[in-house]
Amino acid sequence: MNHLSLNPANMISLSRLILAPAYLYACTIDYRIGVAILALAACTDWLDGFIARRMQCASALGALLDPIGDKAISWSALLVICLHSMSPSIIAASIAIFMRDCMITYQRIIQYQNNHKNDQLAVSQLAKLKTTMLFAAQCLLTIYLYSKNSLVYSAGSMLLYGSSLLTILSFVHYHSRSNGKREITRE
């Protein structure tokens, strides 16, 4: 496994780092463009893993870039949603997601820097479900910003609350799987 390989899967992961500021900018112009960018970013999250498996080009760098790309676009969406939400529960759910992501990402970067690049655990189904729910919630809540449709808001809110609950559960799961070793995961 090449640790510094900038292969097609890693390039797709990196694209989410570019899509994050593009989403923020698009939301200042038209939320519909923001939703399109967010949906594209969600698709790239699936695509990079598919390509890495299909082309057998998984790398330690990819294991680091993939979740960082996820966090960049996700945090951008949470920022936009929270700036336009007066709901304390939306803000609390977003803070829970952000805090967990910060702690896990910090540990992942430290582990990578300390050359423990191959100490990875497989992505859990819980983490996959959490990410899927979060992207769906963020798309719906961004749609709500221009549609003001209460059904869209309710569905997006429920998905965000479910995602924040899964965020907490996956954090506990992450620590129980690492057995104190704090290994890098792609959660």
Which tens digit of pLDDT belongs to each residue from 30-50?
999 999 999 999 999 889 889
What is the Cα–Cα distance from 81 to 145, expressed in whole angstroms? 8
Q: Residue 1: inside a domain, yes or no?
A: no
Q: Residue 99: inside a domain, yes or no?
A: yes
pLDDT at site 41:
95
User: Which 8-state DSSP code applies to residue 172?
Assistant: H
Q: Which residue has the tokens 């690492």?
A: 178
Please check whether residue 170 is in contact with residue 127, taking contact to mean a CB–CB distance below 8 angstroms: yes
Per-chain mean pLDDT for the chain: 86
Q: Residue 144: inside a domain, yes or no?
A: yes
pLDDT at site 177:
67
From the list 128, 110, 135, 138, the residue with the least C-alpha distance to 169 is 128
Q: What is the pTM of this model?
A: 0.84
Q: Residue 2: inside a domain, yes or no?
A: no
pLDDT at site 182:
47
Q: Residue 27: inside a domain, yes or no?
A: yes
pLDDT at site 116:
58
User: Which 8-state DSSP code applies to residue 116?
Assistant: -
Range of the domain at 85: 8-185
Residue 184, strand partner residues: 120
pLDDT at site 2:
46
Residues of the chain whose pLDDT is less than 70? 1-5, 115-123, 177-187
From the list 130, 122, 116, 119, the residue with the least C-alpha distance to 162 is 130
CATH of the domain at 149: 1.20.120.1760
Count of domains forming the chain:
1
CA Rg, the chain, in Å? Answer: 16
Q: Residue 102: inside a domain, yes or no?
A: yes
pLDDT at site 143:
97
- In this structure, the number of other CB atoms found within 10 A of the CB of residue 180 comes to 7
pLDDT at site 126:
83
What is the Cα–Cα distance from 122 to 174, expressed in whole angstroms? 11
At 139 the three-state DSSP class reads helix
Q: In whole angstroms, what separates CA 50 from the centre of its chain?
A: 16
Q: Residue 94: inside a domain, yes or no?
A: yes
Q: Residue 22: inside a domain, yes or no?
A: yes
Residue 185, strand partner residues: 121
What is the Cα–Cα distance from 5 to 103, expressed in whole angstroms? 26
Tokens of 106: 């910090």
pLDDT at site 94:
95
